[in-house]
Amino acid sequence: MEIQWFPGHMAKTRKMMEENIALVDAVVEVVDARIPYSSKNPYLDELWKRRPRILALNKTDLADPAKTERWKAWYEAQGYGVVLLDALHGAGVSQIGPLARRLCQEKLKKEAERGRQERALRLMITGIPNVGKSTVINRIIGRKEAAKTGNKPGVTKAKQWIRLRGGIELLDTPGMLWPKFEDPRIGERIACIGSIKAENLDAYTVAVLLLGLLREEYGALLMERYKLTPEEMREDNERLLFCIGEHRGHRVSGGHIDWERTARVILDEFRNGKMGRITLEAPEDVEDAKENAGGEDTTVS
Ligand code: G4P
């Protein structure tokens, strides 16, 4: 299992993030609601410590609603402001500004007490590739609402701030974070979502991994979509893929099952939400992993 992310990229992103973070009052980290833990980068917490931070669970249109609510409660209990987004259709994005304002209330109050003039609140959007950062920014801006305010002193030329309603300025380019890799299961989940290309993982390997993740909790969805029998559901993951190919009639000349095509169909249908709304991890997985590691680790089981 290997996802390529070069140390050079990491160093560059880290530097950019450190520069940008110094300019803002609150950071919005966008994660994929189908893997709210595996698509989150702990480095940001290290850098940002306990300052106002918003976790935006995006692509909720594809995620399991009950699990999304559990993740929201779990992250809120850790001090995050959480918003649930479907940036593709615009749902939830209007909550980001008011939530940021609420989280920064104390800071602004203190500034006012010290006689500082009222000022705009500055936000930036971050996240690993493909979680929907640009879509979120575009949605927040809207067409008519936004106006570029130009460069500010101390801000390099490339940085633009977009003025929003409610006294908020948003950095116009998202901060890119890298995915975390310390646990191969995290990489596998990211590969299932298809956000980041895993160099050494072909579609077949990823589809077999995905079936393994889906069969327990979402077995009924699999059975329904691929007309699988209870007997077939008891087969191992590779055999299950074979059964799906058979039911779908994906064959190569000579009549053998077309493994590659079956795998791609399974992945596409999962990624496009055709199997139903699915989340690949739950807060309990993280809690269990922590317990198994003696309370130290937070990798997913
Ligand atoms: P990024 O800046 O974080 O890298 O992500 P970006 O906004 O480019 O979004 C990545 C893909 O995810 C886009 O699809 C985008 O339309 C989709 N997307 C963003 N937000 C949502 C959401 O809330 N729900 C759903 N269902 N999709 C969302 P794309 O351009 O078609 O790219 P791809 O499908 O080829 O990856």
Separation of CA 252 and ligand 1 centre (Å): 33
Q: Encode pLDDT of 96-116 as tens digits.
A: 999 999 999 998 889 989 998
Of all protein residues, the one whose alpha carbon is nearest to atom 13 of ligand 1 is: 132
Give yes or no for a contact between 42 and 178, defined as CB atoms under 8 angstroms apart: no
Distance (angstroms) between ligand 1 centre and the Cα of 297 equals 31
Token reading at 113: 């007490």
Instruction: State which CATH number among 1.10.10.10, 3.30.930.10, 1.10.1580.10, 2.102.10.10 fits the domain covering 202-292.
Output: 1.10.1580.10
CB environment 255-276: b (16+ within 10 A), e (fewer): eebbbeebbbbbbeebbeeebb
Rounded to the nearest whole angstrom, what is the distance from the C-alpha of residue 135 to the centroid of ligand 1? 7
Span 54-67, average pLDDT = 98
Ligand 1 within 6 A of CB of 61: yes
Token pair of 76 as six digits: 């809120």
Percent of the chain with pLDDT over 70: 88
Note the pLDDT tens digit of each residue in 220-245.
999 999 999 999 999 999 999 999 99
- CATH classification code of 8-172: 3.40.50.300
Local confidence band at 130 (pLDDT 50, 70, 90 cut-offs): very high
SS3 297: coil
Least confident residue range of 96-105, 244-253, 285-294 = 285-294
User: What was the pLDDT predicted at 93?
Assistant: 95
User: Which atom of ligand 1 approaches the CA of 30 most closely?
Assistant: 3
For 245, the token pair is 């190919």
φ and ψ of 27, to 5 deg: -115, 135
- Which tokens in the block code for residue 288? 């269990």
pLDDT for residue 192 is more than 90: yes
| Residue 126, ligand 1, Cβ within 6 A | no
Residue matched to tokens 């559901």 = 233
More confident of the two residues 39 and 153:
39
Question: Which sequence spans correspond to the domains of the chain?
Answer: 8-172, 202-292
- Which among 30, 64, 130 is the best mutation to test ligand 1's pocket, defined by most ligand atoms within 8 Å of the CB? 130
> Which residues, in sequence order, are CB contacts of 119 under 8 Å at separation 6+?
111, 167
97 lines ligand 1 (CB under 6 A): no
Stated pTM of the model? 0.90
Nearest CA residue ID for atom 12, ligand 1: 132
* CA pair distance 100, 27, nearest whole angstrom: 9
Mean pLDDT of the chain: 87
Residue 30, helix vs strand vs coil: strand
Pairing of β 121-127 and β 168-171 = parallel
- Give 150-185 pLDDT, tens digit per residue: 434 433 446 789 998 889 999 988 888 888 777 888
